[in-house]
Amino acid sequence: MNLSSTKLDTYNTCAYKYKLQYVLKKKGIEEKNTSFEVGNLIHKVMESYREGLDITEIYEHHKNNYVLSDFDESIIKEMLVTAVEMYQPYIGLLYDSEKKYTCALDPQLSINGIIDKMYFHNPDFPKDGKYKISVIDFKTGKRKYDNSTQMKFYITLIYKNLGILPEEIECKVFYLRLKEIIPYKFDQADINEFITYLRMVSEVIDKRQSYKYKFGYYCKWCKYKLSDCEFYKNKLLLEQKNKGVIDENSNPQSI
């Protein structure tokens, strides 16, 4: 089994969606969502951004490939200014953008991930610490979330691929819209415990014959809600019947 932070998050959010996406490989129906467009564009711009380049010029080069409103554009420009300010301590350092790592934890389980930005420090930087690598991930949403699982994925991948100890890796999440930086720090014991957890979860996923549906906040953005998810369609149908919007003879296929 191959696990990523996204796969694990999907499984924990709704196991039935995991089944549709990763087991049955259903395509679903992708809906245009300006929040996703903004996030994708920001990631594209930041992937290209480095010292000596004008971030506004990079944005102008890419923006025509995305569907944006005037409001979106104003928000994006503000977030890019924030991004440049947050990246100042890392200017001049060697780095990788959108670096993909994979590793085998055992013969039955491998993990992978793509790191937004990874900076390599000089041996004496910072002088008051011992970090060798700074991992930077950026978010464009309006809310803060616990990103510890995602950061543990990244640290495990760096540790297994580069041999850098977890204590020597600095992790930060840049919330560009909120103008806030959230740090994460883990030691070897944390990562050993995380690897044990991944092995346990992978066994549960691998042996499960049925995947339980979980209705929640993210259902309204799920690409399977009106194509392959009978649970969501039946719930929507029941709500519409209760409101008198449709008659009792309607079926999920008609909505």
pTM summary value? 0.86
Unique residue bearing structure tokens 């690598």: 133
Q: Rounded to whole angstroms, how far apart are CA atoms 138 and 67?
A: 21
User: Quick one: 83 and 137 in the same domain?
Assistant: yes
Residue 11 lies in a domain: yes
Backbone angles phi, psi at 100, to 5 degrees: -100, 130
Do 165 and 237 share a structural domain?
no
| Residue 132 lies in domain | 2-207
Mean local confidence (pLDDT), 220-237: 90
Instruction: Summarize the confidence of residues 95-114 as an average pLDDT.
Output: 94
Encode 28-60: b = buried (16+ Cβ within 10 Å), e = exposed: beeeeeeeebbbebbebbbeebeeeeebeebbe
Instruction: Name the domain count of the chain.
Output: 2
Note whether 65 and 163 are same-domain residues: yes
| Residue 123 lies inside a defined structural domain of this protein | yes
Residue 150 belongs to domain with CATH number = 3.90.320.10
Co-location of 203 and 235 in the same domain:
no
Shared domain check, 181 and 97: yes
215 within a domain of the structure (yes/no): no
- In the chain, where do the E strands start and end? 2-4, 94-106, 109-120, 133-139, 169-175, 180-184
| pLDDT (tens digit per residue) in 54-97 | 999 999 999 998 888 888 899 999 999 999 999 999 888 889 99
21: which DSSP letter?
I
The Cα-based distances of 15 to 19, 23, 80, 212 in angstroms read 6, 11, 35, 5
Residue with tokens 């670096």: 99
Looking at the fold, whether 55 and 94 belong to one and the same domain comes out as yes
CA distance 158 to 137: 14
pLDDT value at position 255?
41
Domain annotation covers residue 212: no
pLDDT band at 242 (very low <50, low <70, confident <90, very high): confident
Q: In terms of domains, do 18 and 100 share one?
A: yes
243 and 122 fall within a common domain? no
pLDDT of residue 247: 53
Q: Are residues 130 and 63 in the same domain?
A: yes
Within a domain: residue 61?
yes
Pull the structure tokens for residue 248: 């009792």
Token digits of residue 165: 């100890």
pLDDT tens digits for range 142-159: 889 999 999 999 999 999
pLDDT, position 253: 47
Q: Please tell me the chain's helix, strand, coil percentages from 3-state DSSP, rounded to the nearest 5.
A: 50, 20, 35
Asked whether residue 41 is domain-assigned, the answer is yes
Asked whether residue 11 carries a pLDDT value surpassing 90, the answer given is yes
Q: Is residue 201 part of a domain?
A: yes
Task: Mention every residue, 6+ apart, whose C-beta is less than 8 A from residue 100.
Answer: 112, 113, 114, 115
Look at the alpha carbons of 155, 159, 162, 164 in this order and tell me if their dihedral is positive or negative.
positive
Average pLDDT over residues 237-252: 64
pLDDT value for 250? 54
Q: Specify burial of residue 87 (Cβ count, 10 A radius: 0-12, 13-18, 19+).
A: buried
pLDDT of residue 30 exceeding 90, the answer is: no
* Residue 219 in domain: no
pLDDT band at 246, cuts 50/70/90? Answer: low
**229 and 199 part of one domain:** no
Cis peptide upstream of residue 126 (ω within 30 degrees of 0): yes
| Percent with pLDDT over 90 in the chain | 62
Mean pLDDT over all residues of the chain? 88
Q: Note the pLDDT of residue 122.
A: 74
The pLDDT of 114-118, averaged and rounded, is 94
Which of 26-40, 103-117, 157-171, 187-201 comes out lowest in average pLDDT? 26-40
Instruction: Judge if 51 and 89 occupy the same domain.
Output: yes
Per-residue pLDDT tens digits for 120-132: 987 666 566 678 9
CA distance 208 to 11: 12
- Report how far residue 151's alpha carbon sits from residue 68's, in angstroms, rounded to the nearest whole number: 30
Strand locations in 63-188 (E): 94-106, 109-120, 133-139, 169-175, 180-184
Residues 186 and 240 in one domain: no
The mean pLDDT value for 210-224 works out to 89
d(CA 172, CA 69): 30
**What does DSSP say about strands 109-120 and 2-4: parallel, antiparallel, or unpaired?**
parallel
At residue 131, the pLDDT reads 83
